[in-house]
Amino acid sequence: MVLDVNWAVKWLTLSAQAMAEHRVELIELDRAIGDSDHGENMDRGFQAVLDKLAEAPPQTPGAALKLTAMTLMSKVGGAAGPLYGTAFLRAATSLGDSAEIEPEAWATALAAARDGIVARGKAESGDKTMVDAWTPAVEAARKAAAAGDADVLTVLVAAAEAAEAGAVATDPMVARKGRASYLGERSAGHRDPGAASSALILRAAVGAAA
């Protein structure tokens, strides 16, 4: 499997489908510890991404991710737009004009995306945010890519599985950042919606390569 622009467009398409399918779930997660708009915002944002991809088909994976970044920043309200927009923009910059993405390049792009989220949101692992899904994903991708015979699908799967586990791991955490932090101990027992949507997006990347 080659990660080229066709894969990138399929990934973003599957991400949009995932946001639509899990819209209510994300709304409910956000209702418990946030302001109930995460599912709606993510669904609207990724539908807008699909419209933009149709209007101006990108020529490289990086171009597809940059278009996504710009669209999410302009269409998604709350914290999610700037955070996801920064993540996709940093990943796009990391990939540059490459026509195809090798395993190590994907791991590096994921790290750039995570670092963008950290820089924008000032959160770290354990704060009960989307960082708790992205950091395990980055670590797993790097480990998988470091294996000399690793193919890119292996790296994608490793990242997705780690993100999913990271999202689940936010359940017992007490939030230290964002609106959820206002709840203090009452934020424990609820999954972070940003971590949940991050896991869905990274799982969509696997689906696009399958």
Question: Which CATH number belongs to the domain containing residue 66 in this structure?
Answer: 1.25.40.340
- How far is it, in rounded angstroms, from Cα 138 to Cα 73? 23
Q: Looking at the predicted structure, is the pLDDT value of residue 181 above 90?
A: no
Which of 189 and 88 is assigned the larger pLDDT?
88
> Token pair of 199, please?
């896991």
pLDDT digits (tens, 9 = 90+) for 22-76: 999 999 999 998 888 999 999 999 999 999 999 999 999 999 999 999 999 998 8
pLDDT digits (tens, 9 = 90+) for 184-195: 787 798 899 999
A 10 A CB-CB count for 209 gives: 18
Please give the residue range of the domain that contains residue 32.
5-209
Domain count, the chain: 1
Instruction: List C-alpha distances in Å: 193 to 3, 62, 200.
Output: 28, 26, 11
The whole-number pLDDT of residue 201 equals 98
